[in-house]
Structure 1
């Protein structure tokens, strides 16, 4: 079975809603074993791209909007 098949429908809906804001793949790639942030004293393009995406998601995060969603969601 796939992981998504094991998850409940409610959890799949939460993933669909919040996936863009809580992307663990970027953090996993950033902290992988042989990931190089700098090469020859310069920032790598890969590191710059990942850090830019992480920064964008942090800036766009609106806690009030998510609180409204949590409160409006019915069990």
Structure 2
């Protein structure tokens, strides 16, 4: 059975996505995010069984894109 997906804005999609990840990545400050910090955070969550490796990969991809955009917009000095 095919379902129809209504069209929503990216901003409307991102809000609940971040809320679901509160305490994981939603609260990270761009000026305090360092590569090792992210590695440690994800490793801890995987060991706890809180998230799957595929989820880590997906979240990392989003964070990488967000940090790159912030860097290009001169909002951060480095992109982890």
TM-score, normalization by structure 1: 0.33
Instruction: Point out the structure with max Rg over C-alpha.
Output: 1
TM-score, normalization by structure 2: 0.31
Going by fraction, where is helix more abundant, 1 or 2? Answer: 1
Going by fraction, where is strand more abundant, 1 or 2? Answer: 1
